[in-house]
Amino acid sequence: MARNHRRCCGLTSAATTLLFVRSHPNRGGRSGGRLDQRHPESIRYPRVSGPQEAIVKIPEAVDAPIERLVFFSDAAVAIALTLLILPLMDAVGEADRAGLTTADYLGENVARLGSFALSFVLIARFWRAHHLLFAAVEREPRGLFWLNMAWLFSVVFLPVTTAITGALPTDATQLGLYQGTMITISALMAAMTILLKRHPEAWVTGAEISIEKVHSSLVFTGALVASLVLALTIPQLGYWSLLVLFLARPGHWLVDRLARTNRTT
């Protein structure tokens, strides 16, 4: 019986090895690669001189395709957009329990509605810039993953600052938290743009990440910083200081014009 048990185990092991080699033809056969039963996640490849064999780990790809990262980022941004509405949904239940009318609900939640609309537009703008940047990229250079994760962390945190903005009185801490989060998102976007600009081997064939795209991300970040400085310097402005963002486009045009002038001289 013990002999039959060992025979069955041996057949099972052989079958497992055979299936592995057939499904991974480049890791078996003539190359000498075979499955290490003690380390299923490793491959004994190749055989080296001496009494022992080298266990070679499959290295993580550094220059991986970008599609998975893009899909993950799109999903995270979509969730962040959805989270923006939750405080307003909770307020509907509170209004119902308090016996308020629709007009009363709208009147009591003007700040929440405004912060929701503003954050929705800004996240949409950030996602659009991210989409246009990554549309020109097909490979993931070193460092991009963690920059993108930091960017997503900031985007997902923005609904928290939005809820604070709509529920609590405006003060310097609130302004710094809300606009500081947006500055972080924009600065990380600029960092990713600069990184990808320096790695043309990661671009889609025929595509290009222009210096104008770098200028655009830097100018928008600068406009957000100027907005926060104004809000903290002149507290009466509050979130109206964000109107400075409308100067980002002409500022971008001016920077591009100056850059072209410097290149021609």
Residue 263 pLDDT: 75
Q: Residue 50 — very low, low, confident or very high, per pLDDT cuts 50/70/90?
A: very low
Q: Is the pLDDT reported for residue 8 higher than 60?
A: no
29 located within any domain: no
Q: Residue 34 — very low, low, confident or very high, per pLDDT cuts 50/70/90?
A: very low
Among the listed residues 66, 67, 59, the one whose alpha carbon sits nearest the alpha carbon of residue 43: 59
- Give the orientation angle of helix 172-197 with respect to helix 211-233, to 10 degrees: 170
SS3 at position 43: strand
Q: Is the pLDDT reported for residue 26 higher than 60?
A: no
Q: What are 194's two structure tokens?
A: 């600069």
Name the more confident of 137 and 38.
Answer: 137
18 located within any domain: no
pLDDT digits (tens, 9 = 90+) for 71-126: 999 999 999 999 999 999 999 999 999 999 999 999 999 999 999 999 999 999 99
Question: Where is average pLDDT lowest: 73-82, 194-203, 220-229, 247-256?
Answer: 247-256
Q: What are 258's two structure tokens?
A: 């100056």
253 located within any domain: yes
Among the listed residues 75, 214, 236, the one whose alpha carbon sits nearest the alpha carbon of residue 155: 75
Give the number of domains in the chain. 1
Q: What is the pTM of this model?
A: 0.75
Residue 125 to residue 133: CA distance in whole angstroms: 12
Q: What average pLDDT does the chain have?
A: 82
Question: What domain range includes position 166?
Answer: 64-264
Q: Is the pLDDT reported for residue 209 higher than 90?
A: yes
64 strand-pairing partners: 140
4 located within any domain: no
C-alpha to C-alpha distances, 17 to 4, 79, 136, 206, 224, nearest whole angstrom: 20, 43, 42, 44, 59
230 located within any domain: yes
Residue 264 pLDDT: 74
Residue 29 Cα to chain centre, angstroms? 42
C-alpha to C-alpha distances, 146 to 180, 189, 247, nearest whole angstrom: 20, 12, 31
Are 150 and 90 within 8 A, CB to CB?
no
CA neighbours closer than 13 Å in the CB half-sphere of residue 227: 25
Segment 243-256 shows an average pLDDT of: 92
